[in-house]
Structure 1
Amino acid sequence: MVWRQMGEAVLFSLGIGFLVVYLLESQGLAAPFESWSTIITFGLTAIGVLIAAGAAFGLYRSYPIRSRVELMRDAMLMLEKGNPVPPLPNMGKDEIGRLAEQLSRLSRKWEEQVATLQRLSSNNTELAAKVRMSAVIEERQRLARELHDAVSQQLFAISMTATAVGRTLEQDFERARRQVELIEEMAAVAQSEMRALLLHLRPVHLDGKRLAQAIPELVKEMQAKVPMHISLDMDEDLQLNKGMENHLFRMVQEALSNTLRHAKATRMDIALHRRGDTVRLAIRDNGVGFDVQEKKHTSYGLVSMEERANELGGSFNVASAPGKGTRIEIRVPIMAEERGWNDGGVQSDPGTAGR
């Protein structure tokens, strides 16, 4: 842009200079030159002066324009990355100024839409809590049926077989040995069924806990069950609205599940931090990796994480390759209506904030 402005200014100044010389010559106002050398010297000097003056004028005019365009470009890049845009300064009434005003209006509408999405997310979380309460009885009935149909029947079969062992032990030792082996098999099946039922009983929501408390507990639980090193680096005082915290917690859960089931990794790193007006969640493992283009649209876990990020008005990026591990980065903007209590470290319940 600077070179174009300078070039246009130089051409304009040269044109004005030639026009002035032509008018002076045509009106007989220019004194005749004594020799050709004088003409050449004067012409070269005039051209040099005109070029220097035009370049200086073009440089002077280009820098204010360039600075305004750079501000607009930075604002558009922030919008593209899902970050809130600070208010743009007054850029005048020309075309660039009008574009800046339109960009500011677009940024405000974007923030309003993201704020609406996050409010809806919080409302959905509260409604989900009420639905869970109404589903407790149904879940208890289902677990009771499964305990009766699976574990209770296995225990009854073990009891009957153990009774038979007592009767056949002295008469047919080989048959008794086979019955003991059958008891061991049925006990293993019953144990597997109990583990599956306990896994269903494990809470999958925050259940009233803060995100800074729930994620470390989740990581600690996983470390106790799987032979994989999991490191966690997160802000201890991170406080967000209920909807955002629930989505972030579920995305960490989904990432852990995907890594445990598919990655064959020995190490997993989780980082969750607030950076200005943005929350950044980064997850990385050293597993087998995958082809992103092939799996991104077929993996339910990745699709679910991306949908949650989009619901919060954020961005979702995944980088992986076969044998190179996987890295997931999620950025979620914090809207203006939440920054006041969030910066102060005291959260107001979204459900009571308007009372």
Structure 2
Amino acid sequence: MNRLTKSINIKWQLLSYFTGSLAIVMGGLAVGWIYWREALRANELWIEYVLLLVVTGLLLGYLIAAQHQRKIDMLHLAILQLANGNLGERIRPLGTDPFDRIYVDFNEMASSLEKRVMMLQKVGEENVMLLAKSNEDAVIEERKRLARDLHDTVSQQMFAIHMSAASLAKMFERDQTEAAGPIIEQLVSMSNLTQKQLRGMIAQLRPIELEGRRLSEALDKWFPDYCRQNGLQGSIDIRLRGALSDGIEHQLFLIVQEGMANVVKHASARHVTLSLHDTGSQYVLQIEDDGQGFQSDIARTNSYGLSTMRERAQKLGGSMDLRSKAGAGTRIRISIPKFHTEVIRGET
């Protein structure tokens, strides 16, 4: 958009408004003195007439101030929208108004910011896909590590459970029921430990449900299964207006997995809600649970999961907002900018 050069300076416009209002008031006084002097004096209406002129001048001043306030409010609203991530926000110039120069500068700043964030998002998407391709060997190593962990932990726990159960059966055959109590408690303890270890390993996995599917299709299958496997009641709401790029889908899927793993490991929740909406200017992902929560105003520098989610959002030019309170659950909101849409303020 070209810079406007015909708009007058705001101080000259305000001065012209003030001069015009003053001219109307003084002109009214002059007309009253020349044409209605005797009538106003005879009826003792000079005070009322002067007050009428003063009120008229004040009304004109109020209307002028209200007009300027609307222009300032328009700029303020556009700034707030830009700060909230709606990078397509623009203000339509009014023609030759003094505010046009401010509006043009704002539009140029918004366009520059949008282009830079768009480039950042594009680079982030390319890096994500390159990293995904280069991680195949790492995935193989991770599977080997999980196999070793299964052998060293769960497999041994299952063997111990088997031995305890076998000894318990022999005790019942020999009618040694009094000595069976400690073994039963040991069985319950080992089975709970095994279940926690398995859930921890499942939470660390990075499944491949997204390969060959769109994000909405993958989440529709993965999310209910994950909730069912971990004893959660889940609600999912996905509203997308079109297909997302592969890089954004990949990152959002990993963010969802990381967020749900945190719910399973830390929240002690019964219900979790997952939503993904296209607002027109942003993709908004939200994960909310009814778990134990925590004090969100205390920095959780030791939370690797939360920091990873925030970093993934930032790679796409987005941000993460965390709301939590002890005993009142946790809400994580991820906002990713959506481009190719401009909203112009002042358009009729």
Structure 1 length as normaliser, TM-score? 0.68
1:220 aligns with 2:224: yes
Partner residue of 1:231? 235
Give the counterpart of 1:281 among 277, 285, 290.
285
Q: Which amino acid aligns with 1:67?
A: R
What's the counterpart of residue 206 of structure 1?
A: 210
CA distance 1:156–1:331, shift in 2 (3 Å):
closer
Q: Does the 8 A contact of 1:9 with 1:57 survive in 2?
A: no
Counterpart amino acid of 1:307? E
Note if 1:246 corresponds to 2:230. Answer: no
Distance in 2 (alpha carbons) for counterparts of 1:124 and 1:76 = 31
SS at match of 2:91: coil
The one-letter amino acid paired with 1:13 is: L
Could you tell me how far apart the structure 1 residues matched to 2:34 and 2:141 are? 105
* C-alpha distance in structure 2 between counterparts of 1:152 and 1:226, whole Å: 20
Residue 318 of structure 2: aligned partner: 314
- How far did residue 252 of structure 1 move? 1.4
Residue 17 (1) aligns with residue 26 (2): yes
Partner SS for 1:323:
coil
Aligned partner (choices 89, 98, 102) of residue 99 of structure 1: 102
Q: Distance in 2 between matches of 1:198 and 1:36?
A: 94
Shift of the alpha carbon at 1:38? 5.1
Whole-angstrom CA distance in 1 between matches of 2:59 and 2:214: 60
Greater gyration radius: 1
Residue 79 (structure 1) shift:
0.7
- So what's the TM-score if we normalise by structure 2? 0.69
Structure 1 stretches lacking a partner, 5+ long: 166-173, 175-180, 339-355
- Which of these residues, 52, 64, 89, is aligned with residue 48 of structure 1? 52
Deviations 1:313-334 (A, max 9, x none): 2332222211111222222221
Equivalent in the alignment of 2:121? 118
1:85 aligns with: 88
* Identity across the alignment (%): 31
TM-superposition CA deviations, 1:262-310 (whole Å, max 9, x none): 1111111111111222212222111111111114444332222223333
* Structure 1 residue matching 2:135: 3-state secondary structure: helix
Shift of residue 259 of structure 1?
Answer: 1.2
**Structure 1 position 61 matched with structure 2 position 64:** yes
Tell me, yes or no, if the aligned pair for 2:282 and 2:335 is still in contact at 8 Å. yes
Unaligned runs of 5+ in 2: 1-13, 168-175, 177-182, 343-348
Aligned length: 306
User: Residue 336 of structure 1 aligns to a residue in which SS?
Assistant: coil
Work out the CA distance in 2 between the residues paired with 1:30 and 1:192.
98
User: What is the Cα-based RMSD across aligned positions, in Å?
Assistant: 4.5
> CA 1:192–1:280 in 2, change beyond 3 Å: closer, same or farther?
closer
